[in-house]
Chains A and B, each alone.
Chain A
Amino acid sequence: MTTPPDRAQQSTLKTSLPTAYAAVNAQQPRPAPPSELTPDEQEKYLLARPGATAQHLDIALQHAHQIQAQKDAENLILDRILDLVTLPTSPSADPAAPSAEDARTFKAALVPFRPSDYDNLTLERNYDQLCGYGLCPRRHRKEECGPGSQGSFKFKWGAKGSGPGGRGRSMDIVPQEKLEKWCSDDCAERALFIRVQLAEEPVWERRAGDKRNRNILLLEEARAKRMQETAAAATTGSSSKDVQGKEDVTAELDLGNLTLQDTNRGKELALERGDAGLVFRDGRVDVQIKEKERELHHPVAAPQLRPEDAAGGSIEGYVPSEDRGKQPADDGDVLDQI
């Protein structure tokens, strides 16, 4: 299944996890699924366990690979956190306009992250006295509230006119440690904007073609994009309707062409469902459908009336009470009647 060069390539890699690995280097092809045991090893396993079959071995291997993938992913995330603590590369970097290089590293490193991992990163940066936003070189806020201020709360006032009904100011009561995670409100907004884009699913359960963590946008990028879009919508306001109409027509045509047994579409569908999994290419588990063959030894005939069935017979030895009157008084063994 696996060719020797593939295996060599695998051993140089830190992880066997396709998605995480693809994140490291998108140009390289996906590695083959984890290699099978050699026939010798298989034989050894089966000999040591009487009653085990090759199927048991497969299942055991699948679980082992899953656990290994999970461990690798966790290590990878830890490495990434350690790396990201050192960002940005220059101490005078501006968090609002990070260098392209830093932004790229930051985004690429966040691919396997979950929001909880991101929180760990923030915590780790704070422990280093840095602002929790990965591209900000400043120190995080330290609000002096006097001795014993741990676990205290702060009032936070919004801009004028932000209160209820557009009057007064909005007010929030915020725990101090939440406030101290970042250097400023701007950085807090940037950092939380990244956090909401991260997928909740752990990376080892994500599907092979998962796009969610791939195109993370920084807050500034997202704003610029939206500006562009609104500008574009304003200029081409009339023509967009036509495009919409055309798309509807093509969708209808596609629907007409759909059939149930389309191998090409089937593969696409499997990919979409995430069935092209880590271990089994064809699905989560290796399902093989076999029809059970039943052999008929004698010709089938309709049941015939036997003499003891004339009065209705007994039900598993029990004779219904209507017939009981005809029976002898001593109520002999039911078996005798049959």
Chain B
Amino acid sequence: MDGDIASQNADAANTEMIRLWRTWKTVLELLVDRGYEITEGELKITLDQFKDKFSDPLGYPDRNKMKTSARPTELMKQKYTPLPSKSNPDPQPDCGLIYVDFCPDSTAVGTKQVRTFNHFIDENNYHTGIFITQTPISPSAVRLLSGIPGRICEHFQEQDLLVNITRHELVPKHVLLSPEEKARLLERYRLKESQLPRIQVSDPVARYLGLRRGQVVKIIRKSETAGRYASYRWVI
């Protein structure tokens, strides 16, 4: 009987390990898709490597160890640099170090944990933070998370990241336009940005790409007649 319980335990640990491995991989893919520097080796981590790295003695995943940070690539910096204006002739890119943290608490994630996370982000001068929890967080915690001036904090649930939604065949490719490309697009079609179709910031793909209000994203779909079809959406 003892053996039974032990094996059941091991099964549960293994299931959770696999789920978390998939979440971890999606997080890394998300960082790459946003334009952060992640090595190929990190991205292609196998389940065994993951187990070695993040399991506790009992075989369960140890979320305290699961944190990572990444630097933006030159390409990403370019995309996030606003156009020079008269008042700001030498604009700096509006992106920087990103920090990802898995919250170890399995229930009741409220303002307490979020405050610790916010404090950590602020203390270490990260530009962006991604807070990943197992359960939904309380409404006040959501508000608190988005409340640090000058920094961007996002929240995901582990189950939202089990599968990388952008790899699904029905999800078209979304490409963020740089301010320069956006200006050229508006010039080319003689549009004001408010005349473009829109996409919400809370859209799953927009959340995945970390889009911000005012940006324009190019959506490339397959088309039977034209091969591919590009449309543009303004993030609101």
Residues of A within 8 A of B (CB): 74-75, 78, 81-82, 85, 120, 123-124, 126-128
With beta carbons under 8 angstroms apart, the residue of A78, A81, A85, A127 that contacts B147 is: A78
Interchain CB contact under 8 A, B139 and A127: no
Which A residues are in CB contact (< 8 Å) with B140? 78, 81-82, 120, 123-124
With contact pairs A128-B110, A128-B112 given, residues A78 and B138 touching in the complex (Cβ less than 8 Å): no
4 cross-chain pairs, A with B, having the tightest CB-CB distances, nearest first: A127-B110, A127-B108, A120-B140, A81-B140
Interchain CB contact under 8 A, B110 and A123: yes
Tell me how far the C-beta of A86 lies from the nearest C-beta in chain B, rounded to whole angstroms.
Answer: 11
Tell me how far the C-beta of B174 lies from the nearest C-beta in chain A, rounded to whole angstroms.
Answer: 29
Which A residues are in CB contact (< 8 Å) with B147? 75, 78
A116: nearest chain-B partner, CB-CB: B139
Interchain CB contact under 8 A, B143 and A126: no
In the assembled complex, the Cα of A123 lies from the Cα of B139 at a distance in Å of: 9
Interface residues of B in 102-147 (CB under 8 A from A): 108-112, 138-140, 143-144, 147
Residues of B within 8 A of A (CB): 108-112, 138-140, 143-144, 147
In the assembled complex, the Cα of A94 lies from the Cα of B138 at a distance in Å of: 28
Which A residues are in CB contact (< 8 Å) with B112? 127-128
Which B residues are in CB contact (< 8 Å) with A74? 143
With beta carbons under 8 angstroms apart, the residue of B108, B111, B139, B144 that contacts A126 is: B108
A119: nearest chain-B partner, CB-CB: B139
Interchain CB contact under 8 A, A78 and B144: yes
By secondary structure, the A interface counts as helix
Which B residues are in CB contact (< 8 Å) with A123? 110, 138-140
Which B residues are in CB contact (< 8 Å) with A85? 111
Interchain CB contact under 8 A, A127 and B143: no
Which A residues are in CB contact (< 8 Å) with B108? 126-127
13 CB contacts below 8 A, A to B, read A78-B140, A78-B144, A81-B111, A82-B140, A85-B111, A123-B110, A123-B140, A124-B111, A126-B108, A127-B111, A127-B112, A128-B110, A128-B112
With contact pairs A82-B111, A85-B111 given, residues A127 and B138 touching in the complex (Cβ less than 8 Å): yes
Given A78-B140, A124-B138, A127-B110, 15 more A-B residue pairs with CB atoms under 8 Å apart are A74-B143, A75-B147, A78-B143, A78-B144, A78-B147, A81-B140, A82-B144, A85-B111, A120-B139, A120-B140, A123-B138, A124-B110, A124-B111, A124-B140, A128-B110
In the assembled complex, the Cα of A78 lies from the Cα of B147 at a distance in Å of: 10
Which A residues are in CB contact (< 8 Å) with B109? 127
A125: nearest chain-B partner, CB-CB: B110
Tell me how far the C-beta of B86 lies from the nearest C-beta in chain A, rounded to whole angstroms.
Answer: 13
Quick one: which of B109, B111, B112, B144 has the most chain A CB within 10 A? Answer: B111
A74: nearest chain-B partner, CB-CB: B143
Which B residues are in CB contact (< 8 Å) with A127? 108-112, 138
In the assembled complex, the Cα of A128 lies from the Cα of B110 at a distance in Å of: 8
Quick one: which of A74, A75, A124, A126 has the most chain B CB within 10 A? Answer: A124
Which B residues are in CB contact (< 8 Å) with A128? 110, 112
Tell me how far the C-beta of A85 lies from the nearest C-beta in chain B, rounded to whole angstroms.
Answer: 7
In the assembled complex, the Cα of A74 lies from the Cα of B139 at a distance in Å of: 12
Tell me how far the C-beta of B110 lies from the nearest C-beta in chain A, rounded to whole angstroms.
Answer: 3
In the assembled complex, the Cα of A82 lies from the Cα of B139 at a distance in Å of: 12
Tell me how far the C-beta of B158 lies from the nearest C-beta in chain A, rounded to whole angstroms.
Answer: 17
Interchain CB contact under 8 A, A120 and B144: no
In the assembled complex, the Cα of A261 lies from the Cα of B32 at a distance in Å of: 71
In the assembled complex, the Cα of A74 lies from the Cα of B143 at a distance in Å of: 9
Tell me how far the C-beta of A100 lies from the nearest C-beta in chain B, rounded to whole angstroms.
Answer: 27
Tell me how far the C-beta of B165 lies from the nearest C-beta in chain A, rounded to whole angstroms.
Answer: 27
In the assembled complex, the Cα of A120 lies from the Cα of B141 at a distance in Å of: 10
In the assembled complex, the Cα of A82 lies from the Cα of B138 at a distance in Å of: 12
A127: nearest chain-B partner, CB-CB: B110
Which B residues are in CB contact (< 8 Å) with A78? 140, 143-144, 147
In the assembled complex, the Cα of A75 lies from the Cα of B148 at a distance in Å of: 12
